[in-house]
Structure formats: C-alpha cells, structure tokens
Structure 1
Amino acid sequence: MPDPTEVRLAEYGAVLLGADQLTPRDVERLRALQARGCLSLDQAPAGWRLKADATVGILVLDRIRLVIEPKFAIPGEQLMSWLAYALGTPTPLPATARRWATGPEGYADLVAAALLEQCEQLVREGLRRDYVRRQSLEPVLRGRLDIAAQVSRRYGQLDQLRVRTFDRETDIEDNRVLGTALRVARTLATHPDLVRDLHAIADAFPQAPTPDAALRALDRTRYTRLNNRYRTAHTWARLLLRGGGVTGLLTDDGMTADGLLLPMPALWEAVVRRLTTEATAPHGGRTVLSSGATGITVRGDLGSTSAFRPDVLLSLPGHDQSARTLLPVDAKYKRYDRYGVGAGDVHQLLTYSAGYTPSTGPRAVIVHPCSGGHSHRVLRVSGPQGSLGSIHVLGVDTHASPHQAAVWIRSALLWADW
C-alpha cells in the first residue's frame, strides 16, 4: 500500500482536498472530529474543504497524512516544554541532544521521542516484574498440578502435565501499555532514525491486545513506590494512545491511535492554571473551586440552570492577614497581543469581577499567549454611575520557558497589589 500523501495547513488554516483523497471512512472520522470542534469539513465543487480550528498535530487517514502546524502561540521548539509543564512531567531532553532531528512543526516526533527516552531509561534500570498466574502444559511438574484439567483433558495420562504457575514476569499492565504506545508512535513518527529506535525498543516490551485495552489498563493504574518510576512514561503513552486527549487536560471522546491532535485552548487553560497557582503560592495564594457555594449561577430562564466559571479562581491574602480576597482568572487562546479584547470577553470578565471581587474595586485577569516579550495592560470599564471594574490583560511570552513565565506572572500580580 503506498504511503499517504502529506497535506499541511496551519492552525485556523484551510485546504481544498480532491474527492478521491478522502475515503468514506476518512469522512466519517473527520465528521467525528468536527463534532468535537477540532476542525470543519464541507463539501466543495471539486471535493472537500477542510478547515482547522485551534488544533495542532497529525492525523493519519487512509490516503493522506494531515499535518496541522502551530500558527502563532507556541513555537514548535517550545511546544514540548509547555506541554510537559501543563502535564506536570519532566521536560524531555532537547531534540538537538538526540540522535534524530525534528522540524518546527514536528511535535509528534518530539512526543514519540519523549516516550522513547523514558522507555530507554526503564530498560536500562530493568523493567518491573510482578507475579503472573499461568496455565500451561509441561513435561515435568512446575507450580501446582491442575487435577481437574489433567483428568478431563489428558484422561489420566502423565507424559504431560497440566500445571498452574505463579512466576515474576515483565508481561504486566505497566509494561504492556508502553509496548502498545511505542507501536502507535511508530505510525506517527516521520524521521527514519526515530522510527528505527522506536522499533528496536518496542521489542523489549510486551503489548496489550488493542490500544483500547491499554487505555483501560492506564485508567486502572495506581502508582505506588513499586511503579512510580513509570508515571512519566505513562503520561506520554496516554497522550499518544488517546490521540491527544489527556485525562485532566483534554477531553477524550474515544478517538485512539492514528493521530495526535492537541486542542490548543485546552492546553493553554492547563498552562494558565499551573502558572497562576505557582505564581501566588509563595505568598499564600491558593486555588478554590468556582462551583457550589462559590459559583455564579443563572436561574429562572428556560431550560436548566447555567453557570459562569472562570478557568482559575484564586484566593489571595489581603492586607489584613485574617481576610482573603478572590481573584478570577481566565485563559484566552487569542491574539490579544495584536488585537483589542472582544466585547464578549469583556462582558464575561465583568461578570466574574462582580461575582467574586469587592464592589469597591471589582477586577479580573485575562492571560493570553504572545511573542516578543511579556505584556501587561489594564482595561478600565466605566459607565454613567462610575467604574464598573478593571480587567488586567497579561500576555505571556511563550518563547520564554514556563518557569520564567511563572516568575513574571508573580511579579505582575504583586505589582497590581491585589
């Protein structure tokens, strides 16, 4: 079967595809992704018009290999460090220190390389073994004789024995999920040296029956001192097996393998959540729930009750240490370094400020990605009766490291004197 034709487009970009470039199975899968808000697919006079949303990554279809490149927010060489930061995992070794090279858009190779790096380390340290129960036919007695099977299947013959053994083996779930993820990574990687290394290391790991079985095993996994060293490898494996959906980061709707797509708004929300938490923690700040008693709800309308929930709700110490104030923070994956804040976002942040902050000085925060240095501006909203509130718009330079950004966020929030 010939290799799929590579089709590239930028995040938010569009491309025209011929009618013969998509099979009915491809169309069905793209429609499912459209329902998730990852892209849109419309019929055109000569075929199909495919438009990407705020999604980047790779999707391997029957006849094409679709590559959606990051357009502006996080450069390719920095995307892995920000992704690792959002996931709370160690940043992989730089691509320049590896035996392969990746282009700015080749983050699927970098995710595969991150998994490979962790698996190589596990093999060097020795794969974890655990007791596995087996039933087998042996020429000598090992373990425990299965009397019922010996009588019913061997009819009393003793030249071969039905036995039950309980031996320590590497064929356990912790290793099987990695073996499955390595085989999925081979289908997504483009650099031949990386594909070869993935193929070589995969032979050291057992494999689950299907990617779905591996995902179910990951969902059952609980980390103890025995398998805690597998946690980082499992994080990258889950990312590959879910095609980009990460528990606690992105929403998984069952799409597995053959693709690695990251919804960038969800990634940015996870980044902002960690940035603001780390920035305020040294000064007594903490995150609180924005639901229940601390939620903003709308009742009395047609249909069910609705709610307004900021991405992050910070509880900060006031000048009087016995009193604390709330500060709503919203992550916006938008070009607010080049364009003004939209009216809808202003209305949303004013609602947050009215619901959570003191009436004497209602305020809220927007955090957006930018390039060319961090930025901080303040929108002041007023009406005939006076001030309605202020909105601090913080632009985080994604060319910097996440930890540098956290330090800057801390200084910006302290300078604002909440």
Structure 2
Amino acid sequence: MGEVISVFEYDLLGSGKAASVGVKLVPQHVFNYLEALSLASIQGSQFLKLTSRSGFKLLQVQNYAGMLSTPHGFQLEILPKVGKNLTAANARATLLTMLSHLPGFRHIQTQQATLQAQRMPLLEIFISQFLLSVSQLLKQGLRSDYVSEQGNLAFMKGKLMLSAQLRHNSVNRHKFCVNYDDYMPDCAANRLLHSALDKLLSLQLSSENQRWLYELRFAFDGIPLSRDIDGDINSLRLDRGMSHYNEPMAWAQLILRGMSPSALQGNTNAISLLFPMEAVFESFVAQTLPHELPPHFKVQPQVSTYSLVKHGFHDCFKLRPDLLIQSRLPVQTKMVMDTKWKLVNGSKHTKSLYGLAQADFYQMFAYGQKYLDGSGEMYLIYPAHDDFSQPIPQHFAFSNTLKLWVVPYQITGKPGERMMWVSDIPSV
C-alpha cells in the first residue's frame, strides 16, 4: 500500500521546514502536485486553499472529506472534523455512516465498513467493498447476453448475408457468410467490471486487497476490456435477472470515472473521491429524520415555495429551508429546520454565543415569517460532539410566538435516537 497521511477538515499541509509552524508535512513533490491542483482552474480548487503562515507557503483543507490519490502513489485521506478529540478510526466510521445513506452510496455495507475503518484508510475500504461485491456476484454467476457476430462459416447459422456471400463464396459454395447472435459473457456489464478491476492494478494496494484483486480478475480472463466506457455505461440495462449486478456496477462506475472531484476531471491516473461535508450532512439528516418523527409527519427537503421579496411581478431571492416538517392530513407546515456542518460549543454562550452565526439567525427569521406566518418552532441542527451533546436549553425568541431551538444530531446514533428534541413534537 502506498504512503497514506490522514488529516482533518481545515488542517494545514506543508513541506520541508514548515513543521516548525505545526502543520501536517507531505513530501515536496506531493505538495507541488496539490498546489497545482489548487490553482488548476480559474475558480481554484474547492477542497484546497493556498495560504501562508510565518513565511511558509501552506495549503489548507476545506470542508471536504474523502480521499485523494496522487500520481506518486501517495494518498491523502481527509476526514470529517466532528469534535476536538476524534480519532481517525471514529472519523472514518462517522463519514461511512453518512455516506451509506446517500442515494449513490447505499451499496456501502455499513457494518463491515465500520470494522474496516479501524485499520484501513478510506481508499482501501472503498476498494474492498467493490471486491466483495464482485466476489458475491461471481458466486451467483456471470450473466451472458446475445452478441451479434459475423463470420464465413462451414455451416449455416443465423442470417445469410447475400452480398457478402456472392463476393466471397461464389466458388467456395460450401461456406456461408452469416450474421448470427451468440450467447456469450461478453456484454457491457461484464466488460465494465473487468475494466474496473484492471484499472485497480495500477494502484499500490494492501497485500490483502492486491491478492483478492488478482483472484477476481482471473474470472474475467475470457471477457475483453471495454473499448468505450461511456458507451457501455450508457447502454447498460440491468433487468430483473441481473439484480446481483447493481452493487458491483455502482462501484465499477465510480472507479472507471476516476472518483474525481471537478478539479481532477480527466486525470485518469488519480483515483479520488471527495465529498462536500455541508451537503453530505444535510442529505444524511434528510434521509434519517423520518425515523425521528411520528408517522403522521413527513419530511419535505429543499422546498422553495416562497421568496424573500417581490419586485413587480417577479419573486426575488428564493427562500429554501433545508427541511420542512409537515402533517400529512391536512398538509400543513409544523416546523422549519436547517442543517449546519459546524462545531457548536454548547457550554460557552458568552461573546461567541456558542459559536453561532448571526447570518443564520437572519435566515431562520425569514423562513419563520414566510413558512410559519411568524408563529411556531424552528430548529437549527448541528452535528453532535463532546462539547455539544445536549440541546442548548433556552430557545431563541424572535417574538412571543416564533421560537428557534439549537440542537445536536447524533450521526452514529440508533434510528429514533439521533434527533435531540427539546420540546414535545406538535400534534397534527
């Protein structure tokens, strides 16, 4: 396995003598590569920011988590910062828990991945999950499909191609130029799986994954690699008899498309997978919150019914709260919620006001006026950690009728125990 360094969101990276300012050190050639990435586009990289301290040029990781491999065999693992004393293993488990609820990553087998998080970096976990899914697929058997073939055969098979027959066999009449279908494992799905396995051969993997990879690739020896990956992906049709292909194909497409963020598109030598944590946390809460509510309520994410102002006949500045909690019958908005990927200190309320942002309060006030008519309860939801394990006990009053609660959300908690309520859920 190549060298791996684990860092957290907002950590600083440097090289050479930059260790004197308390940053994570990476080899100079790796720093140069990462610096080039941060400057690669007009807008700059979203997950790395060039900065300086005490005269040293540094890179600061932004609010992204995942892994980034470099052409030098070096891997940078970026972990979510949930708390001050979080270990790398716990941070990996937290990230994997959230990813397993994302629509594109529900194929992550959370229990096994959480165990692997104790000893494996993220790239190895993702690859291990892919190899496991391929292994399970092979136990059920590779799917074959009809493949169109042409040939000059000694027997009649399929459809005779008259023009070719007259051109090639006017003398050798014992031959037949035919077009026929053969039932073969050379289909788009199998070509893509073989190509994904083949791409992983270039990586420096753990001995366990490396051995597993070679064993699985041997089962695809008779199947060609994909010559047109995008074409095969677009033509892919997993019918009812191919449900066992769903999980390995989801991983294969990620691998073949490079797992790359926008700044790395086109770099086929680097396999990377980075996630904007604000969006991951928002999606995780939206997916799991229904388990925290009684059945007569439903969660509506990203509703944009109202705007802040009207200008003539035009609505301006759409108001889009992360979550609305509505009763089912009759449909009525009961609560407004917004998620924030930020560490709140539940015990310090002087000066910094628990670390809360004034702009968020303006935003919630606007939501309350438009979606609750100025009367009701709203929630700001932050990730739970050691310094924020209980809701802030006193609500924030915009008026006598409009209240805002600030609460933690237990990411790794059991369903039904993640949301920390501070008051009774309103009845229908």
1:284 aligns with 2:297: yes
Contact between 2:391 and 2:420, CA under 8 Å: does it hold in 1? Answer: no
Q: Write the mapping of 1:204-353 to structure 2, written as runs, cut at 5 A.
A: 204-205=219-220, 206=223, 209=226, 213-214=228-229, 217-218=232-233, 221=236, 223-244=238-259, 254=265, 258-280=271-293, 282-287=295-300, 290-291=303-304, 294-300=305-311, 305-317=316-328, 322=330, 324-337=332-345, 339-353=354-368
Partner residue in 2 for 1:11:
9
Distance 2:378 2:372 in 1: 8
TM-score (norm 1): 0.77
Return the offset for 1:125. Answer: 0.6
User: 2: CA distance between counterparts of 1:187 and 1:387?
Assistant: 64
1:172 to partner: Cα distance: 1.9
Asked whether the equivalents of residues 178 and 237 of structure 1 are also in contact (C-alpha less than 8 Å), the reply is: yes
Cα distance in 2, alignment partners of residues 393 and 345 from structure 1: 11
Flag structure 1 segments of 5+ consecutive residues without an equivalent.
Answer: none
Pair 1:357-2:372 in alignment: yes
Residue 412 in structure 1 maps to residue 425 in structure 2: no
Deviation of residue 348 (structure 1)?
Answer: 1.8
Q: Give, in whole Å, the separation in 2 of the partners of 1:356 and 1:149.
A: 72
In the TM superposition, residue 189 of structure 1 has moved relative to its aligned partner by: 6.4
Matched, 1:377 2:385: no
Task: Please say if residues 307 and 315 of structure 2, whose CA atoms lie closer than 8 Å, have aligned partners that are also in contact.
Answer: no
Q: Which of 50, 53, 66 is the matching residue for 2:62?
A: 53
Q: 1:393 to 1:243 in 2, by over 3 A?
A: farther
How far apart in 1 are the matches of 2:336 and 2:204? 40
Distance 1:105 1:203, change over 3 A: closer
Task: Look up the match of 2:162.
Answer: 147
1:76 match: 92
- Inter-partner Cα distance in structure 2 for 1:67 and 1:7: 5
Q: Which amino acid aligns with 2:98?
A: W
> Structure 1 CA distance, aligned partners of 2:55 and 2:331?
65
Q: Considering only CA atoms, is the larger Rg found in Structure 1 or Structure 2?
A: 2
Check the 8 A contact 1:76/1:104 in 2, yes or no: no
1:76 to partner: Cα distance: 1.6
Which of 401, 405, 410 is the matching residue for 1:392? 405
- Is the alpha carbon distance of 1:152 and 1:124 closer, same or farther for their aligned partners in structure 2, counting shifts above 3 Å? same
Structure 2: distance between partners of 1:111 and 1:162 = 48
Equivalent residue of 2:424, what SS? helix
Match of 2:191, SS state, is helix
Structure 2: which 5+ runs fail to align?
17-26, 83-89, 347-353
Offset at residue 53 of structure 1 (A): 1.0
> Which one is further off, 18-27 or 137-146?
18-27
Could you tell me whether the CA contact under 8 Å between 1:243 and 1:261 is conserved in 2? no
Give a deviation string over 1:194-246, Cα, whole Å, max 9, x none: 12212321343446537xx545644554554222332222333344344557x
C-alpha RMSD over aligned residues? 4.1
In 2, Cα distance between equivalents of 1:274 and 1:187? 36
Report SS of the residue matched to 2:124: helix
- Check whether the contact 1:80–1:110 (CA below 8 A) recurs between aligned residues: no
Q: How high is the sequence identity, in percent, across the aligned residues?
A: 21
CA distance in 2, matches of 1:251, 1:328: 33
Contact 2:301-2:322 at 8 Å conserved across structures: no
Q: Post-superposition, which runs of at least 4 consecutive aligned residues in structure 1 deviate over 6 A?
A: 23-26, 43-47, 250-253
Q: In the aligned structure 2, how far is the partner of 1:231 from the partner of 1:381? A: 47
Q: Which residue of 2 aligns with 1:114?
A: 129
* 1:91 and 2:100 correspond: no
The worse-fitting range, judged by mean Cα deviation, of 43-52 and 136-145 is 43-52
Query: CA distance change for structure 1 residues 356 and 125 in 2, over 3 Å: closer, same or farther?
Result: same
From the superposition, tell whether residues 382 and 393 of structure 1 become closer, same or farther in structure 2 (CA, over 3 Å). closer
Quick check: 1:31 aligned with 2:39? Answer: yes
The answer on whether the counterparts of 1:310 and 1:328 sit within 8 Å (CA) in structure 2 is: yes
Q: 1:219 to 1:355 in 2, by over 3 A?
A: farther
